[in-house]
Amino acid sequence: MKKKIETGIDGLEEYIFDEIETDQKISDFVDYVHQFYGKDGIYAEEFFPPNGATTPEIMLAVTLMQRLPIKSHFSGDSMDREIVRDIIAQARLAEIIFNKKKEKTEGGTKINWKNYTKDLDIPDNWDDTSYGNDALPSYMSDKINEYHAYHIWIDSHDAEERKANSEDIYGLHDELAPRFHVVLCYGNPENVYSSDDFDSIVQWIKDNPKTPEQIEETKEYI
């Protein structure tokens, strides 16, 4: 028999688990875990600040623990308790990573790639290829023919953010990387042109259409 519970975890509003998990032994174990890691628990603030793990989190972790291949049987002891603790910690870490990636998408709530390009007059024939997992937003210089298009990486107009990106992405500690980089295509690491001036980027692309050799190289990447 299955039962639904509210998890309280973003992106996982409900979880279906076996009714067998609600027997008295499991119920007592959930209470036991709660005494250590739940609200006002002994280690609540140490492991799950500020308010400890929620009961739905604990119940979900208990369910997942019993499905681990390393678990031959349920004991309800301190070792099981610590396994539950680690499952909750990993779930919270995964949620943080997921949300950070989500923030980098166009619909993200904190980091919006449009903030990187709002001061620029992007040509109408360019295609926005920004992707949440990328370090920077990017455009393709031809919406129609991707083999003829260059790929343009765009850094922030904000000096402090560019400084951080220069260090994190390019390994530069004492200088800023150029704000704009043109590469042959997505996935090709070699810059063919770089500048801090966006107009010069646009003009360079107009003046330097890809050669037949570059088009063939692009096809190998895409």
Asked if the model's pLDDT at residue 83 lies above 50, the reply is yes
- ω into residue 189 within 30 of 0, thus cis? no
Strand pairing of 127-128 and 2-9?
unpaired
Amino acid 101: pLDDT: 53
Amino acid 57: pLDDT: 85
- For 198, which DSSP code? H
- Domain-wise residue ranges, the chain: 2-103, 114-221
Q: What is the pLDDT of residues 3-45, one digit of tens each?
A: 444 445 444 444 444 444 446 788 888 899 999 999 889 998 8
Q: What is the pLDDT of residues 142-180, one digit of tens each?
A: 988 889 999 999 999 888 888 888 888 878 888 889 999
Mean pLDDT score, 189-217: 94
Q: Which of 14-23, 127-136, 183-192, 197-206 has the highest mean pLDDT?
A: 197-206
With the C-alpha atoms ordered 167, 170, 174, 179, is the resulting torsion angle positive or negative? negative
Higher pLDDT, 11 or 86: 86
- pTM (two decimals): 0.51
Amino acid 88: pLDDT: 87
